[in-house]
Amino acid sequence: MFSFHPVWLIPALLASALPSFAGIPSSSFTAFESGQVRPISISPNGRMLVAVNTPDNRIEIFRINAEGVRNAETQLSHSCSVPVGMEPVAVAVRTDQEIWVVNHLSDSVSIVRLENEHCDQAGVAQTLFVGDEPRDIVFAGDGNSKAFITTAHRGQNSP
């Protein structure tokens, strides 16, 4: 004869409840931020670190305080934030006073100039509109005199 055990009921209830959980979203927030490509760069003199702050459309500039390389007592101190274009995804420090920032959503490159490492009068000196969805930047040539910027569509910048 068949005997009823409540323990058998638990797997049946769980199996019937699982499909109902599949329709519940895991989060009420969906991120549409562009992925960072080269989010950190260090100045040629090694005394400044620059990082992109993609959600806030800024770059963050830090001073590197090296008390002793052998003792690894290197510290960062935040110098300033500089507003740039929309969704910065890459940064390259060309000189100790010039930072180039690739802005993915605003299709531009911001050139930030610094008076000194303490960010006095830091700001965007020039904005270059470079084409659809730029992603990265590298410098080459004598004194980093040539900038190469990747964009989304092949041949869009050719004559």
**Digit-coded pLDDT (tens) for 58-67:** 999 999 887 6
Locus of tokens 């934030």 = 81
Q: What is the pLDDT of residue 76?
A: 87
Read off the pLDDT of each residue in 4-22 and give the average, rounded to a whole number.
Answer: 54
Q: What is the pLDDT of residue 26?
A: 62
Q: pLDDT band at 21, cuts 50/70/90?
A: low
Q: pLDDT band at 4, cuts 50/70/90?
A: low
**Digit-coded pLDDT (tens) for 87-142:** 999 999 999 999 999 999 999 999 999 987 678 788 999 999 998 899 999 999 89
3-state secondary structure of 49: strand
Q: Are 56 and 103 in contact (CB under 8 A)?
A: no
Residue 151 φ then ψ, to 5°? -130, 175
Q: Are 107 and 128 in contact (CB under 8 A)?
A: no
Using alpha carbons, select from 129, 147, 145, 150 the residue that is nearest to residue 37. 150
**Digit-coded pLDDT (tens) for 48-59:** 999 999 999 999
**DSSP notation for 55-104:** GGTEEEEEEEEES-TTTT-EEEEEEEEEE-SSSEEEEEEEETTEEEEEET
| Residue 155 confidence (pLDDT) above 60 | yes
Q: Whole-model pTM above 0.95?
A: no
Mean pLDDT for all residues in the chain:
82
Question: Could you give all domains of the chain from N- to C-terminal order, each with its CATH number?
Answer: 40-150 (2.130.10.10)
Instruction: Show Cβ contacts of residue 22 under 8 Å, excluding neighbours closer than 6 positions.
Output: none
Most confident of 13-17, 72-76, 132-136: 132-136
Do the bridges between strand 108-113 and strand 58-66 make them parallel or antiparallel, or are there none, so unpaired?
Answer: unpaired
| Residue 22 confidence (pLDDT) above 70 | no
